[in-house]
């Protein structure tokens, strides 16, 4: 079967990429090499997502809580690894019609990194293939706070009436504005929580947890997660079997 015509394929998959540090520790390697290995996995998953017809891929790259990690690790992730990824991969991503979008507060990212981010966004802005969202300096609660601040300002200015505030309006003020909510959220590394990730958008997302550490989560593992998703029944609060409750 041509997977791009498979109507059971999730349109939007989000991934919490967990386990880079533990992967490196188990091999007696520095944590930085675990992050390097994780980037190689990310490249494979982005390419495979495009091949099988996923419309949106969102990855949790760096949370607002990750600033509490050792400075050396934070600097490596933000000032080196992300820049290297964008510089090396952006031409290939652009050639494959992929759109880059950042979710999170990038205003407080170092200027050199922010410049690379803005170049990638600008270059791929008009592409029409896979939408690749990178959640960077992202937190779900912070996203909601920012959305409410924006809406409040518009109410004060008279641009919005309080009575017009609804779920649709709030969604339009989130980082994911214009994107469908994730159908499937995958977390690698063995933890079973979503850790402040897409908390508004994930109310009906299917959750898939695996003990596999992110650097080892190759496309075969991703295919297993997709297969598991396809075998689930998504009811969105209704009883689709005619009302049976047993």
Residues designated as active site: 18, 66
Q: Which residues lie below 8 Å from residue 6, measured CB to CB, with a gap of 6+?
A: 53, 230
Our CA angle for 133, 64, 140, nearest 5°, is 60
The C-alpha atoms of residue 201 and residue 135 are separated, in whole angstroms, by 13
Closest residue by Cα to residue 210 from 187, 229, 230, 176: 187
Backbone CA torsion sign across 65, 143, 45, 232: positive
Q: Which residue has the tokens 């809406």?
A: 151
Closest residue by Cα to residue 132 from 123, 143, 145, 142: 123
Question: Quick one: residue 19, left, alpha or beta (phi over 0 = left, psi -120 to 50 = alpha)?
Answer: left
Q: Which residues lie below 8 Å from residue 96, measured CB to CB, with a gap of 6+?
A: 47, 50, 129, 130
């Amino acid at each position: 079967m041509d997977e791009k015509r498979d109507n059971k394929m999730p349109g939007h998959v989000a991934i919490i990429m967990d386990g880079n540090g533990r992967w490196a520790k188990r091999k007696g390697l520095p944590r930085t090499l675990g992050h390097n290995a994780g980037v190689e996995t990310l490249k494979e998953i982005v390419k495979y997502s495009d091949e099988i017809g996923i419309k949106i891929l969102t990855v949790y790259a760096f949370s607002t809580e990750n600033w509490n990690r050792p400075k050396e690790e934070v600097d490596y992730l933000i000032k080196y690894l992300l820049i290297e990824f964008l510089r090396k991969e952006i031409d290939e991503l652009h050639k494959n019609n992929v759109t880059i979008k950042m979710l999170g507060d990038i205003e407080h990212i170092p200027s050199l990194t922010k410049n690379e981010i803005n170049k990638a966004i600008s270059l791929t802005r008009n592409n029409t293939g896979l939408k690749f969202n990178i959640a960077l300096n992202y937190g779900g609660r912070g996203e909601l706070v920012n959305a409410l601040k924006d809406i409040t300002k518009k109410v004060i200015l008279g641009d919005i009436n309080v009575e017009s505030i609804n779920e649709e309006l709030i969604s339009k003020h989130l980082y994911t504005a214009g994107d469908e909510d994730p159908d499937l959220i995958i977390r690698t590394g063995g933890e079973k929580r979503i850790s402040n990730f897409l908390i508004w958008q994930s109310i009906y997302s299917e959750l898939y947890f695996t003990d596999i550490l992110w650097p080892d989560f190759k496309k075969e593992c991703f295919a297993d997660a997709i297969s598991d998703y396809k075998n689930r029944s998504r009811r969105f609060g209704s009883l689709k079997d005619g009302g049976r409750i047993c």
